[in-house]
Amino acid sequence: MHAALEKRFHSEIAEAQRLLKSGSLDEAFVHLERAHVLGQRYIVPHIQTHWLMLRIGLSRRSVAEVSGQAARIVLGALGSAINVVPTGNTGGTNISMFKRLPIDPELKKVLKD
């Protein structure tokens, strides 16, 4: 992961964790989706975003989110390891884990730099 991408990924994760601690789960999830788009090609960052999404699912007592994120932790790690990830996918269970999505132009710039 190049320096600008790593910096932005960690910035999104830090903001998500800050919001998670304050109980702002919806806002935290938005930052995790952005972090997911940035980090899904790399095993550890990819797993980290899904782990934090799973924690939000636990906080919400959402069986669907928790089970979906548990599956994504395993399959996401494998996908990152073999470099097969659906670009632009935001990582939540509201989207198929195999669906490619358009990438926000701001994030696309960070990914291309």
Q: What average pLDDT does the structure give for the chain?
A: 95
Say what percent of the chain tops pLDDT 90: 96
Q: Which of 113, 88, 111 is nearest to 98 (CA)?
A: 88
What pLDDT score was predicted for residue 48? 96
Amino acid at 44: V
pLDDT digits (tens, 9 = 90+) for 24-60: 999 999 999 999 999 999 999 999 999 999 999 999 9
Q: What is the DSSP letter of 13?
A: H
Q: What is the DSSP string of 45-110?
A: HHHHHHHHHHHHHHHHT-HHHHHHHHHHHHHHHHHHHTT---TT---STTS-TT---PPPHHHHHH
What pLDDT score was predicted for residue 1? 87
Does the pLDDT of residue 110 top 90, yes or no? yes
The pLDDT of 20-27, averaged and rounded, is: 96
